[in-house]
């Protein structure tokens, strides 16, 4: 079925959230939006910002699956297994988790996920850019996108877990620039010297 394209504002009305099931631990500028019949309720299918397409993703495409596997592999190569909380494909396919991918034409640039904790609180998961896309501002675009989506779905707080090692310093700096502050462990997390927990109100 042919999809219907239309123009809309970046800020959408509050969207209904998917039915919750906990996943494994582990301004007004106009943009183009495409809505499709198979999207989850309340979500726009495609956002185009600065020529980058940010799409609600079903994890079916090989480049996306490969990037998730690369992300998971790097986490286990950098951090002891008991301190790795990154989600694999199975975790990202859980209800209550939404994934977006960023594209330049047919080239994947990065992914980000939003995981529901409860009705008011969500978590950022699987924030990852491809090596070729680094230093292009893609991580900032994805983070701003997931912040907007969390607000539009009515969440009041957004949190995340990242590593304390030097490898994760650029990620921590990105989150801090966007208003995230240190917090105690949340949800099912526990104190861990290799983890840093960050949060911000929306």
Minimum mean pLDDT range among 31-40, 64-73, 140-149, 178-187: 31-40
The two tokens of residue 35 are 């809505």
39 lies in a domain? yes
CB 96 within 8 A of CB 19: yes
144 lies in a domain? yes
139 CB neighbour count, 10 Å cutoff: 22
33 contacts: CB under 8 Å, gap ≥ 6: 5, 6, 7, 8, 44, 45, 46, 47, 48
pLDDT at position 51 is 83
The two tokens of residue 198 are 């960050």
84 lies in a domain? yes
pLDDT at position 135 is 85
pLDDT confidence of 50, banded at 50, 70, 90?
confident
Rounded CA separation 154/202 (Å): 9
171 lies in a domain? no
pLDDT at position 44 is 58
In the chain, % of residues over pLDDT 70: 78
Split into its structural domains, the chain has a count of 1
Whole-number average pLDDT of the chain: 81
21 lies in a domain? yes
47 lies in a domain? yes
pLDDT (tens digit per residue) in 140-167: 999 999 999 999 999 999 999 999 999 9
pTM over 0.85: no
pLDDT (tens digit per residue) in 122-138: 999 999 999 988 888 99
CATH number assigned to the domain comprising residue 95: 3.40.630
CB 76 within 8 A of CB 50: no
Looking from the CA of 80 toward its CB, the CA atoms found within 13 Å total: 7
pLDDT at position 24 is 36
Residue 19 scores a pLDDT above 50 = no
* Domain residue limits at 88: 4-156
202 lies in a domain? no
Longest C-alpha distance within the chain, in Å?
A: 51
């Amino acid at each position: 079925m042919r999809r219907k394209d239309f123009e809309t504002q970046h800020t959408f009305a509050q969207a209904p959230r998917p039915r919750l099931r906990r996943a494994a631990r582990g301004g007004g500028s106009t943009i183009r939006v495409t809505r499709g019949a198979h999207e989850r309720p309340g979500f726009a299918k495609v956002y185009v910002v600065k020529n980058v397409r940010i799409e609600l993703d079903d994890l079916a495409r090989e480049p996306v699956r490969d990037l998730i596997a690369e992300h998971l592999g790097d986490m286990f190569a950098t951090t002891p297994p008991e301190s790795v909380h990154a989600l694999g494909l199975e975790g990202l396919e859980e209800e209550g988790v939404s994934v977006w991918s960023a594209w330049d034409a047919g080239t994947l640039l990065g992914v980000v996920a939003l995981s529901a904790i409860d009705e008011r609180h969500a978590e950022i998961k699987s924030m990852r850019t491809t090596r070729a896309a680094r230093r292009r501002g893609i991580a900032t675009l994805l983070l701003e996108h997931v912040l907007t989506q969390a607000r539009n779905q009515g969440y009041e707080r957004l949190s995340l877990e990242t590593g304390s090692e030097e490898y994760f310093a650029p990620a921590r700096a990105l989150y801090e620039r966007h208003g995230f502050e240190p917090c105690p462990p949340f949800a099912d997390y526990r104190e861990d010297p290799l983890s840093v927990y960050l949060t911000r109100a929306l």
